[in-house]
Structure 1
Amino acid sequence: MRFVFRRPPILFALALIGAAPPPSTAISTLSPDSETRWVSFDLTPGNQIRFTMAVNGMPATAILDTGVSASVISRDFASVHRLHVQPRGHASAIGGNVAIGWAATQSIALGGLTRRGGGMIVTTLPAAATGTARAVDILIGHDLIDAYALEIDFEAKRFRLIKSGRLPFRGLSAPLSIAANQNVYVTEALLGGRRLAPMVVDTGDGSSITLSQESFRAARITGLPTTTTIAYGLAGALITDLAIVPSLAVGKLTASDVEIRVERRGGFSHEIGAAGRIGSGFLQQYRVLLDPIAGHIVFGPSSQTGKPPVRSTSGILVATEAARLRVLHVMRGSPAEVSGWRAGDLICAIDGTPVPADYSNSPISSWSVGSPGRVVLLSGCDGRERALTLGRFY
């Protein structure tokens, strides 16, 4: 199943509760040539940083995720490679709770970083959480990388780990630390003149900015057109409100027209004591340096800096299933809602063109964010045709 529409966000945040993993006896080293050891990545359909690394000498597909409180191995990977998994209780994930275990590892290799000994949390990593047909094997969290500076070059699709204190480019800075309670990267933001803290810096979250309901209300931003959207976490799907705010500041950086998702009451951010999250949808507008030891995050300019967010003009969020689209969510107040579209509806052709196997990478997929006023003819898999007039609704 592939999710389509601006790479709909996938949310991998995970907070450990219950039994903790055993104390680590791991020894990590950074190679002298670490600055040349760039790690190439691609962005998943869920907008996550995906790359290849090695665990116990075996290749593994990983997601760079500063929003998990400890690095994670999938149960499938542990089973295939015969890692002994010890039950360790449960963890709080976006969408609910998940069962976790712990497994010892012999070695981990990632760019210029090598770790000997130690272990990792084990849980189920569903394929739906990346928007692809194949699940990833690893989530790389702060516990493996926070002793170093992490530079992410989104334009070149590469990242590297370097010594803390290095400043390989100039930019605007914001404070950065590892939260003692959440064990994740945190900073602070300013919205409507209100300080929002802590804000989790979450590279595993494909969205832009997510706020708890309490934080958004405290900012007292009024008169914003809002709608709804869907996202997927380790524990399942969740619906959030969605709006575009005129400006938001993170340290010395002020960004305009920022997409904000607002969790429902008692959401994940509230549960872990955070004001919200800054996801990869926001970070990828910049060249980013995360250095918690030095105490800062640095935002450098890129060709994506200042570009306005892409808005849906249809209100239909879909996933591909073979040669058809399944409607996952109909956004509140959208042309699709007015036209009577519902989650679960199936689409087999767009303007007379059958849905191709590579739909998400084809030009035809841009119809859902087309120009307001355009009329799109959607053919249901039952043979019924329905015209949809696109429009701006948030």
Structure 2
Amino acid sequence: MRALPIAVLALALALPATARQPVTTAPASLSPAPTLSADSETRWVSFDLTPGNQIVFRMTVNGRAATAILDTGVNFTLASSGFAAGLGLKPTATGQAAAIGGALPISWAPVETIDVGGLSRHGGRIGVADLTALATGTAQPVDVVLGADLLAAHALDIDFDNRRFRLLPSGRMPFRGTSVAVMTAPQSGTFLVDATVGTARVRPLLLDTGDGSTLTLAREAWSTTRLPDAGLTSAYAVGLAGPIETDLVVLPRVRLGATPARNVEVRIEPLRGYSTLTGTAGRIGNGFLQRYRVLLDPKARRMILSPGKSADRMPLKSTSGLLLSYEGKALRVLHVMRGSPAARDGWRAGDRICAIDGAKLPDDYRTNPVGQWPAGTPGRTVRLGLCDGGPERALTLAAFY
């Protein structure tokens, strides 16, 4: 059983117009196109989902094994500063990129080879940045974020039910499903789709496998749907450049192309947030995509969706209102959701929990059923012991959004 995600987190990044011009070493102009091996169809790459709901897998850079995140929302592939230093990569230029949570310093370094599954690239550059562990919900930061630059010329087949993906020649159709039109952003090279939310056609939406949430909308895009703000709560996300607070609601129905999706969790960014900054109306994340088997083929301008085992499932909803980070046998409160039982009981960000119902947190808390309590049955009262030695606090769970 998977534990309740401590928070739904997001990785996304793009070079804004103001930062793109000074960076004369943009990867698109310096990196050759990747190639596929003749047996790429058989070269499945196994993956898992992080607590932050991103696709994590193994690949190699300059022949060295790396832990990576598959992130179509990043328009160029990144290596963490520590991993790049361990490889002896020497940055030759620097710049700045827009990321969820703010601006992110970036540098560029020559690289010899990048290999994943049946895909290889020889030569070119890789971005180098500080990759925070909190942005993936893992205990340690990943080594590489595999971006859209390595995926644009081929088809990406993601089999979420069996936790594997592969790269195929563009134009292949390995399974049947509903087709969704995909556009490629002319400047960033990322992948865009349209959706219908309420009665409004919302576009363009970034296809972002690095974002663990389901659907995120710019505040300006949400206003066009004419859906009521009543019933919204708040949520917390962490991007490459830091945390952001969003509004949150669960909608009964959203349509992506001709594909209807039910019980869709929607996050709404503040005014002039990341989506607005990058010229999009929002983004479709892994919370949406993992309901399907996905064939993303940007060169053929389409995405194929075939319903998976969890296509119409109800999202796991908090009944406590506490979004938590598991840190060394303690839970730290990252955010208290608006209108929740925790908000009514006076919980605050930064509070630390060391015991649940009189027992210390188990070593396998992330996967132990004990870790499901923040989304437990309404009416249940949970006794929470604080790490500072203060009196135990009782929290009664309730449906609040």
Runs of 4+ more than 4 Å apart = none
Indicate whether 1:307 and 2:313 are aligned: yes
Task: Look up the equivalent residue of 1:207 and give its one-letter code.
Answer: S
2:93–2:109: 8 Å Cα contact kept in structure 1?
no
1:60-79 superposed matches below 5 A: 60-79=66-85
1:10 aligns with 9
1:162 aligns with 168
CA distance in 1: counterparts of 2:164 and 2:58, whole angstroms: 12
Structure 1 residues 339 and 27: CA distance shift in structure 2, 3 A? closer
Question: Among 380, 384, 388, which residue is 2:391 paired with?
Answer: 384
Give, in angstroms, the shift of residue 177 of structure 1: 2.1
Give, in angstroms, the shift of residue 224 of structure 1: 4.5
Q: Tell me the SS of whatever aligns to 2:300.
A: coil
1:96 aligns with 102
Q: Tell me the SS of whatever aligns to 1:361.
A: coil
CA distance in 1: counterparts of 2:53 and 2:6, whole angstroms: 6
Root-mean-square deviation (CA, aligned residues, Å) is: 1.4
CA distance in 2: counterparts of 1:6 and 1:200, whole angstroms: 23
Deviations 1:34-54 (A, max 9, x none): 110000011111111011111
Q: Tell me the SS of whatever aligns to 2:201.
A: strand
Structure 1 residues 376 and 224: CA distance shift in structure 2, 3 A? same
1:280 aligns with 286
Which range is displaced more, 13-22 or 211-220? 13-22
Question: Among 24, 27, 41, which residue is 1:35 paired with?
Answer: 41
Structure 1 residues 223 and 61: CA distance shift in structure 2, 3 A? closer
CA distance in 2: counterparts of 1:134 and 1:363, whole angstroms: 23
Task: Look up the equivalent residue of 1:81 and give its one-letter code.
Answer: L
2:33–2:150: 8 Å Cα contact kept in structure 1?
no
Task: Look up the equivalent residue of 1:285 and give its one-letter code.
Answer: R
Give, in angstroms, the shift of residue 20 of structure 1: 4.2
Give, in angstroms, the shift of residue 360 of structure 1: 1.2
1:78–1:85: 8 Å Cα contact kept in structure 2?
no
Deviations 1:296-336 (A, max 9, x none): 11111211110011110000111112222111111000000
1:322–1:357: 8 Å Cα contact kept in structure 2?
no
2:9–2:237: 8 Å Cα contact kept in structure 1?
yes
Q: Tell me the SS of whatever aligns to 1:218.
A: helix
1:371 aligns with 377
**Quick one: percent identity of the two aligned structures?**
49
2:233 aligns with 227
Deviations 1:322-380 (A, max 9, x none): 22211111100000000111111111111112112221111111111111111111122
1:258 aligns with 264
Structure 1 residues 14 and 131: CA distance shift in structure 2, 3 A? same
Give, in angstroms, the shift of residue 275 of structure 1: 0.4
Structure 1 residues 302 and 27: CA distance shift in structure 2, 3 A? closer
1:181-330 superposed matches below 5 A: 181-222=187-228, 224-330=230-336
Structure 1 residues 169 and 386: CA distance shift in structure 2, 3 A? same
2:345 aligns with 339
1:5–1:317: 8 Å Cα contact kept in structure 2?
no
1:208–1:260: 8 Å Cα contact kept in structure 2?
yes
**What TM-score does the superposition give when structure 1 sets the normalisation length?**
0.97
Q: Which runs of 5+ in 1 are unaligned?
A: none
Give, in angstroms, the shift of residue 88 of structure 1: 2.3
Indicate whether 1:21 and 2:25 are aligned: yes
1:323–1:348: 8 Å Cα contact kept in structure 2?
yes
CA distance in 2: counterparts of 1:371 and 1:200, whole angstroms: 35
Question: Among 105, 109, 112, which residue is 1:106 paired with?
Answer: 112
**What TM-score does the superposition give when structure 2 sets the normalisation length?**
0.95
CA distance in 2: counterparts of 1:378 and 1:124, whole angstroms: 35
